[in-house]
Each structure stands twice: as C-alpha cells, then as structure tokens.
Amino acid sequence: MVQARFPEPVSDELLDIEDKTRLELYRQVVRLRRFEERAYRLFMDGLVKGTSHLSLGMEAIAAGVATAMREDDYTFCTYRGHAHTLARGVPMDAVMGELLGRQSGVCGGKGGSMHLTSVEHGVMGSYAIIGAHLVIANGAAWSASERGTGQVTVAFFGDGATNIGAFHEALNFAKVWELPIVFVCENNLWMEYTPIDSVTAVEHPAADRASAYGLESIIVDGNDPDAVYDVASRAIGRARSGGGPSMIEAKTYRHGGHSRADPGTYRPEEEVEAWKARDPLGYRDRLLALGMDEAELVAIEDEADADIDAASEAAKAAPLPDLEAAYTNVWADGGWSWRN
Ligand SMILES: Cc1ncc(C[n+]2csc(CCOP(=O)(O)OP(=O)(O)O)c2C)c(N)n1
C-alpha cells in the first residue's frame, strides 16, 4: 500500500486553543529547533562524542504532546530523543552537558545523546533498541494505574517500530489491560535508509494496526503544533479518565538523514523540499495572522538563543566524568566487584 509521500494540504480549520498555550507551543518549537541546530554545530566541532540523531523538522510533535501533559506524567522515547527530553522541561544545561559527555549532563555524562533520562521529570529513558521501550512503557502505565495516581504514559517511536514484534505485543496488552497510555508514532516516512511503505502492507503503519487491536486510533498532521496539541490533549484526557489507550500517528518528515553521519541523499529532492515547505516553524505566521504581538515572538526567540548560548558554554566548561564513574550505576546493585 502506497502512503502519501507529500504533505497533505494544510487544514483551514482553526482550533480553539488559548493564546497562552499557542505561545507555549511556539516557545517549545523554537527551543527544540535551535537547540538541535547548535548541537549539530558542536558535533561538527568534534565536541559531541559518538553519533546522535536529530529531529529537525519534527519538533511540533514533541512540543504539542508535552504541552498537553501533566508534570508528573511519564514519557518514553527513542535514540532520537533530544526534543522529547527538552519538551518535558529537562534543563538545557543538563541535556547539552550530556551530549558533550560532561559531569553536568543529565546522566552524569555517561549516557550521551542516545540515552537521555531524567526520572525526576518523568523522562523514563531513551531507548536504542527499536520497539523495546513500548512494552516497558506499558509497565509504567500499569504501575500508575495500580497506584491510582492518574499519571499517563506517553511512548514516542518511529514508523520503523511498527514492524517489530514488541510493538504488536505492547498494543495488545495496552488494550487488554486498558492502560493509561498514549502511543505516538512519528511517521517520517523513512526508517534508517528504507521507506516504510516499501515494507508495510497497510497505508498507516501505526494507526491501521492500532485500530485492529482495539485502540483509539488517530492520524494527525505532525507538523502542525495546534493539531498535535489538540489530539494529544484528548488522548491524554481519555487515558487519565480511565478511557484506555490511544495511538496517535503523526505524519511528519525529518529535514536530515538518519543520524549525523548520514546526509540522507537517497531521499528524492522534491520530497525533501515539499516537506521543508511545511516546516513547523511556519507556525509563527499563523500566530501573526491571529494578531499576536511579534515582539512577544521575538522575545521567545531571543530567550531561546540566550539559553542555548549559556548551555553550550556551561557544557564546554564542565569537567568530564571521573574514571570512578565508569563503575557506578552499571548494575542494579551498583556494584561491579563480583565480576572478578
Ligand atoms: C531492533 C532493532 N533493529 C534495528 C536497529 C537499527 N536501527 C536503528 S534506527 C533504525 C531505523 C528506525 O526507523 P524509525 O523507527 O522509522 O525511526 P526514525 O529513525 O526514522 O526516527 C534502525 C533499523 C535497532 N536499533 N534496533
């Protein structure tokens, strides 16, 4: 089944969203974009060790979903998790420090770009094994449900995960147990080098499968912060009030290739250009058309730049982890001496 490879026309339906929420959505999108642009430069300067995966062009999804979440909710994401981690409120200093492998990093510099975790912010890890975190996310949702806390779990993942067994197991049990969980598929049409539609029998790889498992299934324009916020608010609200799990399949595109080492030149140029024309940053024009004050938007942009400058300088100045750190938090009991 062939998927739409080009963005759908923009909906002219204006959603009923408060101005202050729209400003928050814009603030998020700008901060995520500019953070990753800086991270890329630092990588090119040799300061970010290892590889890392950017979600430039996909920011509206993390922004829209995180804005709809409660502070004590949980998120699970993949190796492409800078945006999801920042959007939940983890400070830039701690994320930048982690990318640069410094003690100031959110995992003390030991995790790096692909393993961002901050339990105190409900950011329950970034997982590099495709699909593996979906069943773990079910566990967090089950725990919240047993404890009666009203917390909702959100699990972000790529379209490639939809052909992994754990995805199907997770959806089935989420529904069987009516878990308070929202699965969010960031369908950017490509896996590592393979278009998802060349290996998938249905048009909407996440949504079509989810409805077969009995989940509430939603398809959304993943480049529209308002649309993502709207569907996420409903799905999260439903989960919180005992209405069970949902699947949001957000159609999007990443501006770059799979990882820093991949320029993504195998993708047709007209496809890349068509999606770039639907950049989530175009949201700025909508806000202006709605009569918002441009000075407020500029203030948001300036604040993001200042914070990123400060986070980069702080990370560069921070010490590397001590050698001792190699032996901490490695095993569940914190020890390592048994190995000898
Ligand atoms: C189980 C497993 N198989 C293969 C890989 C190698 N791998 C890493 S990322 C990736 C592509 C995933 O694509 P998608 O889920 O669409 O997410 P995207 O990277 O586009 O955000 C693959 C195959 C892996 N990490 N885990």
58, 113, 130, 169, best to mutate for ligand 1 pocket (most atoms within 8 Å of CB): 130
Token pair of 219 as six digits: 């398809």
List, chain by chain if needed, residues with CB within 6 Å of any ligand 1 atom: 80, 128-130, 158-161, 188, 190-192, 258
**Range from 90-99, 196-205, 324-333 carrying the lowest mean pLDDT:** 324-333
Residue owning the nearest CA to atom 25 of ligand 1: 129
Beta bridge partners of 190: 195
167, 191, 209, best to mutate for ligand 1 pocket (most atoms within 8 Å of CB): 191
Residue owning the nearest CA to atom 4 of ligand 1: 130
HEC secondary structure over 172-230: HHHHHCCCCEEEEEEECCECCCCEHHHCCCCCCCCHHHHHHCCCEEEEEECCCHHHHHH
pLDDT tens-digit map of 3-32: 788 998 888 889 999 999 999 999 999 999
| Ligand 1 nearest atom to the CA of residue 129, by list position | 26
CA of 81 to the centre of ligand 1 (A): 13
pLDDT tens-digit map of 223-233: 999 999 999 99
Q: How far is CA 140 from the centre of its chain?
A: 18
Q: Is the pLDDT of residue 335 over 80?
A: no
Share of the chain above pLDDT 90, in %: 89
Q: What is the pLDDT of residue 328?
A: 83
Helix (H, G, I), strand (E, B) or coil at 118: strand
Q: What is the dihedral of CA 164, 165, 170, 171, to 10 degrees?
A: 80
Smallest CA-to-CA distance from 185 within 220, 233, 216 is with 220
pLDDT tens-digit map of 282-312: 999 999 999 999 999 999 999 999 999 999 9
CA of 196 to the centre of ligand 1 (A): 11
Alpha helices (runs of H) in 105-186, residue ranges in sequence order:
132-147, 165-176
Q: What is the pLDDT of residue 34?
A: 98
Which H helix or E strand runs over 316?
Answer: helix 294-317
Q: Is the pLDDT of residue 132 over 90?
A: yes
| Ligand 1 nearest atom to the CA of residue 130, by list position | 26
Residue 113's Cβ-count burial label (10 Å; 0-12, 13-18, 19+) is buried
What type of residue sits at position 109? G
Q: Are 119 and 339 spatial neighbours (Cβ–Cβ below 8 Å)?
A: no
pLDDT tens-digit map of 187-210: 999 999 999 999 999 999 999 999
CA of 220 to the centre of ligand 1 (A): 22
Domains annotated on the chain, with CATH: 19-309 (3.40.50.970)
CB atoms within 10 A of CB 285: 9
- DSSP-assigned letters across all residues of 239-261: HHTT---EEEEEE---SS-SSTT
Q: What is the pLDDT of residue 337?
A: 65
- Tell me how far apart the alpha carbons of residues 106 and 83 are, in angstroms, rounded to a whole number: 14
CA of 80 to the centre of ligand 1 (A): 10
CB atoms within 10 A of CB 8: 11
CA of 314 to the centre of ligand 1 (A): 32
- The pTM (predicted TM-score) of the whole model is 0.96
Q: What is the pLDDT of residue 9?
A: 85
Q: Is the pLDDT of residue 263 over 60?
A: yes
Q: Are 231 and 184 spatial neighbours (Cβ–Cβ below 8 Å)?
A: no
| Ligand 1 nearest atom to the CA of residue 78, by list position | 21
CA of 159 to the centre of ligand 1 (A): 9
